[in-house]
Amino acid sequence: MSFTRRLTFSFVAILVLSLSSVLIQVWGNDTRRRNVWLLQHVIRTQSELNDFSQRMYSTHRKILVVDALAESGTQNGITVAERKELLSGIDALVALEEELNDDLQEYLEQGRYEPLDAALLLQHWRQFLESDFEPHGEDLQREYEALSSRISANEWYLLTRSDEINVGLREVVSMTNKVALAVFLLALITTFVLGYYMTRYTRRAIRQLQKGTSEWGEGNFDYSIGDMGRDEFGQLANSFNDMASSLRQAMGSAREASRRADAANQAKSGFLANMSHELRTPMNAIIGYSEMLLEEIDEEEQLSVSDLQPDLEKIQLAGKHLLTLINDVLDISKIESGRMAVFWEDVALEAVLRDVEITVAPLMEKNRNILHCDFDLRNERIRTDVTRLRQILLNLLSNAAKFTRSGDVFLSVSELTEDGHDYLLAEVRDTGIGMSEEQLGRVFDAFVQADLSTTKQYGGSGLGLTISRKFAELLGGTITASSELGRGSRFVLRLPVGVGASDSIGGLEKTASGDILVIDDDLAALDLSHRALSREGYHVRTASSGAEGLVMARQHRPDLVVLDVMMPGLDGWQVLHSLRGDPVLGSVPVLMLSMLNEHDLGLLLGASGYLVKPVESAELTAVVRDLLPATAVGNMLLIEEGDALAQVIELLPGAEHWKIYHTGDLARVAELLTELPWQLIVLGPHNDSGQIGRLVAHLRTEHWRTVPMLMAQTDAEIQSLRGQLGAYLNRGE
């Protein structure tokens, strides 16, 4: 049984006993109250019956006196006022009799009371008084005696009922007190037993956990807490054991990372030494030919363009070579800092491949190599980052051309579908110098070529393959290599791709949306993250502590957690451990933020990404976009004169989830473009076609090319656009 269930059972048992005691007291009080109420009404009925008896007796005496006067022949025995008084008293007795009969029926059991039945006697008395005192003495006397007998019997019944109620009241009080005392004693004993058991159980578990933490604090990470069952303490012990295991692995990884860092430093030192030669060579050419040109211009003012062209071409070639080297260094720097962005778009794959083939042709000719291309393409367009794809292929092909002399280089590109996903396969194979197993193992390491002699003989920065693999990973794919020394190398690129549409309208991109939880004890950093992510269209929740963040994560299950490491109470590592151990939240991506650069440790412990503070907004949103796929909900800019297209959009399903900014003022458009992030731009009919053309040209620049843009100028185009736009607006549902 879990610790929570034990506590719950204990609390419920104590609560039930306490509630039983209260219920018994309530029942006893209610029973006493009802008995006292009944006793009071029985006594009141006795009093009313006694009063009825006395009034009957008094009236009877007066009737007898009147009857005696009537028998003696005395005229005017009583006055009119006295007669009215007697009649009024008889009316009062009638009402009192009716009330007494109701009380006797209510407070006495059937068969234990006699109805008074005084109506006949009272009627006779009334007739006697209203018939000028016609004598009825004997009849009235008999009826009165019978009534007196019934009254006496009812008085006896009421007295007996009072005694019974008193006896029952005493029994209820006695029983209530005994039961309440017994329940109280039972609750006291139960509370003591359960408290002792829970205290003993908790202390034993805590002692085991304390021993484990003491051992680990002394550096004995091989110590393992024994089996403590399946309750919370057992789970906590397992978590501690897992943490110790993770720490052991982390320390091993840290030592390995330190070794790799030393090797990387050595590689960078060697790289800088080699690159000094690589950079000086084109720089010497640029400076040398520039000086020669200046000297020739000074000496011969009438130099022709044809005389200058060869030297200028050499300067240009050296400059391009130098630019290539610098770009490689800048690219690897961007990749390692996490600032390399990916732009998804629809591309015509065959055109890209032909462009790559033409671009590498001079490299092949330089070493007298023959390029063989084989393209097996099923789709005209695919969805990927064309710049990164082209750079990967160029790097692989230029690498093959560089290390092959008078040989063959093969480029094969095909598409395949696995498990409902589309993939692009590109294979680059050469018949060059090849690599040994040792060289193959570090061919993708940054700043490293096969060996120093390779750098001296073939040149290059040693970054091309590293950059290619990083780009492939950014695009969600892989690059694998195989080689045999002296017989060439083979590189295989595998990229997941989406099938693109056949026109510009179909190639729309999903936009920013998602539920993000930011956990940070620094309120300023919390606010900055909230504002940066909200501007991108994400729904952001914030928590200022690890405990609060875990509660919110379990309540709402975010799509991504942005987690600070250094927090009081539960720090980021503990929160990450809890998230990864939760069956519901275990798959949620977690982006760690910290002032310390512990990137390897973060990934080892289960983080999906790691950024070192301070983090720029652009860097944060770029990483979030990589970790959190987007959906089609956001800001839409509608540019048209009139409202024809606006009316169409308003009726489309899914439009209610978009915030639509509608304007025909192009000056206002320029302001809006800089004020808000946009996920969709729609151009409707407008009279100023020149301004619209310039706006479209601006929106097709690199800065805006990731924002989908639709255009419809005529009624026919608007109707054609209706279905495609409706499908786009509603696909985030």
Q: How confident is the model at residue 426 (pLDDT cuts 50, 70, 90)?
A: very high
Q: pLDDT tier at 549 (50, 70, 90 boundaries)? A: very high
Query: What is the tens place of the pLDDT at every residue in 307-318?
Result: 777 777 777 766
Query: Comparing 106 with 730, which gets the higher pLDDT?
Result: 106
Minimum mean pLDDT among 234-243, 374-383, 395-404, 666-675: which range? 234-243
Q: Supply the pLDDT for residue 448.
A: 52
The CATH classification number of 232-333 equals 1.10.287.130
N-term to C-term CA, the chain: 44
CA distances to 40, 91, 531, 669, 699 from 661, rounded to whole Å, are 81, 91, 21, 10, 17
Q: Token pair 């020394």 is at which residue?
A: 485
* Chain-centre distance for alpha carbon 634: 20
In three-state secondary structure terms, 415 is strand
- Looking at residue 430, its pLDDT comes to 93
Q: What is the 3-state secondary structure (H, E, C) of 68-112?
A: HHHHCCCCCCCCHHHHHHHHHHHHHHHHHHHHHHHHHHHHCCCCC
Q: What is the 3-state secondary structure (H, E, C) of 542-568?
A: EECCHHHHHHHHHHHCCCEEEEECCCC
Tell me the mean pLDDT in the region 479-499: 86
Q: Compute the distance between CA of residue 264 and CA of residue 450 in angstroms, rounded to an integer.
A: 15
Q: Work out the pLDDT band at 471, boundaries 50, 70, 90.
A: confident
Strands (E), 513-627: 515-519, 539-543, 560-564, 590-594, 609-612
Task: Give me the amino acid identity at 598.
Answer: E
Q: What is 3-188's CATH topology?
A: f41 fragment of flagellin, N-terminal domain (1.20.1330)
For position 501, what pLDDT does the model report?
A: 38
- Count of other CB atoms within 10 angstroms of residue 193: 12
- pLDDT exceeding 90 applies to what percent of the chain? 10
Top-confidence residue, 290 or 513:
290
In sequence order, the β-bridge partners of residue 479 are: 493
CA pair distance 106, 34, nearest whole angstrom = 14
Q: Which whole-number Å values give the CA distances from 88 to 6, 54, 381, in the listed order?
A: 77, 16, 114
pLDDT of residue 326: 66
Please report the pLDDT score of residue 285 as a whole number. 67
User: Cβ atoms within 10 A of the Cβ of 652, count?
Assistant: 17
Helices 232-299, 137-217: axis angle to 10 degrees equals 50
Question: Is residue 663 within 8 Å of residue 695, measured between CB atoms?
Answer: no
- CB 91, CB 161: distance < 8 Å: no
Q: Who has greater pLDDT, 101 or 727?
A: 101
For residues 380-390, average pLDDT: 81
pLDDT of residue 493: 92
Rounded Cα gap, residues 376 and 416, in angstroms? 10
* Nearest C-alpha neighbor of 133 from the set 62, 190, 54, 220: 62
Residue 635 to residue 664: CA distance in whole angstroms = 17
Give pLDDT, residue 503.
35
Give the C-alpha separation, 97 to 664, whole Å: 96
Question: What percentage of the chain's residues is helix, strand, coil (to nearest 5)?
Answer: 60, 15, 25
pLDDT digits (tens, 9 = 90+) for 583-594: 888 888 899 998
Confidence of residue 545 (pLDDT cuts 50, 70, 90): very high
Contact 595/612 with Cβ under 8 angstroms? yes
More confident residue, 345 or 50: 50
Instruction: Specify the pTM.
Output: 0.34
pLDDT digits (tens, 9 = 90+) for 156-183: 888 888 888 888 888 888 888 888 788 8
Lowest mean pLDDT among 284-298, 318-332, 626-640: 318-332
Q: Assign 409 to helix, strand or coil.
A: strand
What single string gives the DSSP state of each residue in 329-387?
A: HHHHHHHHHT------EEEEHHHHHHHHHHHHHHHHHHTT-EEEEEEE-S-SEEEE-HH
pLDDT in tens, 689-703: 778 888 887 776 645
Torsion angle, CA of 452/458/461/466, rounded to 10 degrees? -90
Query: Is residue 228 within 8 Å of 205, Cβ to Cβ?
Result: yes
pLDDT range class, residue 210, cuts 50, 70, 90: confident
- Distance, in Å, from the CA atom of 363 to the CA atom of 430, rounded to the nearest integer, reads 14
- Residues with Cβ within 8 Å of 704's Cβ and at least 6 positions away in sequence, in order, are 698
Query: Is-contact 233 3, C-beta < 8 A?
Result: yes
Q: How would CATH label the architecture of 341-499?
A: 2-Layer Sandwich (3.30)
Determine the angle formed by the axes of helices 80-107 and 137-217, rounding to 10 degrees. Answer: 40
> Above 80 in pLDDT, residue 329?
no
Which CATH number is correct for 515-627, 3.40.50.2300, 3.40.50.970, 3.40.830.10, 1.10.8.420?
3.40.50.2300
For the record, the structure tokens of 485 come out as: 């020394």
**pLDDT band, residue 498 (cuts 50/70/90):** low
Mean pLDDT of 203-226: 76
For the domain bounded by 635-730, which CATH number is listed? 3.40.50.2300
Q: What is the pLDDT of residue 592?
A: 92
Between β-strands 408-418 and 345-348, what pairing exists: parallel, antiparallel or unpaired? Answer: unpaired
Q: Where are the domains of the chain?
A: 3-188, 232-333, 341-499, 515-627, 635-730
Total residues belonging to the chain: 733
Closest-CA residue to 602 (of 216, 219, 257): 257
Mean pLDDT of 138-160: 83
Q: Does the pLDDT at position 260 exceed 80? A: no
Give 334's pLDDT tier (boundaries 50, 70, 90): low
Q: What pLDDT score does 546 carry? A: 92
At 340, list the tokens: 């390399």
Which tokens belong to 574? Answer: 């503990």
Residue 573, pLDDT score:
92
| Dihedral (CA of 658, 660, 666, 669) sign | negative
DSSP 15-66: HHHHHHHHHHHHHHHHHHHHHHHHHHHHHHHHHHHHHHHHHHHHHHHHHHHH
Residue 268 and residue 275: Cα distance in Å, rounded? 10
Confidence (pLDDT) at 455 = 46
**Domain 515-627 and domain 635-730 have a common topology:** yes
In tens, the pLDDT along 70-100 reads: 677 655 567 788 888 888 888 888 888 888 8
The answer to whether the CB of 516 falls within 8 A of the CB of 559 is yes
Q: Give phi and psi for 500, each to the nearest 5.
A: -85, 165
Check pLDDT > 70 for residue 403: yes
